[in-house]
Amino acid sequence: MSLRYSICYAVCIVGLSVCSAVCAKERSGAEIYENICSNCHENGDFDAPKLKDFSAWKPRLAKGKRVLYQSAFKGLGDNMPARNEYEGHLSNREIYDTVNYMVKKTVQYSSSHELVASNPN
């Protein structure tokens, strides 16, 4: 049992109601993307930047990842939901992992496709 879970169980025994949110097993960025974010980001619904569409992500990446994390925490514009608008609890770690997953997929895809053609260096 990891230290994190040991601490969680200790807290649960004490009877704090926050324990279920804290102890709930965290999902990977890929899982959360597939279950939640892909609803808009896979096909670009509501003009969401599509996964692997580097030109859609480029101006967003230029803002820096911290800004992207903030957008995922707080939402953006009319259609990008804040994390507390989803069913269930998305932890900080889950938000970071999911944004990282989306950025990594997009950058990897672009470097193996578009960028190679446009930028041989």
Tell me which amino acid residue 39 is: N
Buried-state track 100-116, b at ≥16 Cβ within 10 A, e below 16: ebbbebbbebbeeeeee
Name the segment binding ligand HEC (CB under 6 A); options: 2-10, 12-20, 70-78, 107-115.
70-78
| Residues with Cβ within 8 Å of residue 26, at least 6 apart in sequence | 91, 93, 94
Closest C-alpha among 66, 50, 69 to residue 109 = 50
The amino acid at 84: N
Q: Is 100 in the site for ligand HEC (CB under 6 A)?
A: no
The yes or no reply on residue 51 touching ligand HEC (CB under 6 A) is: no
CB 34 within 8 A of CB 102: no
CB of 61 to ligand HEC, least distance (A): 9
CA torsion sign for 96, 67, 43, 115 is negative
By beta carbon distance, the residue nearest ligand HEC is 77
Closer to ligand HEC by Cβ: residue 49 or 54: 49
Q: Which stretch binds ligand HEC (CB under 6 A): 7-15, 17-25, 65-73, 110-118?
A: 65-73
Question: Could you say which residues in the range 3-42 bind ligand HEC, by CB under 6 A?
Answer: 32, 36-37, 39-41
Binding site for ligand HEC (CB under 6 A): 32, 36-37, 39-41, 45-49, 60, 63, 67-68, 71-72, 76-77, 79-81, 98-99
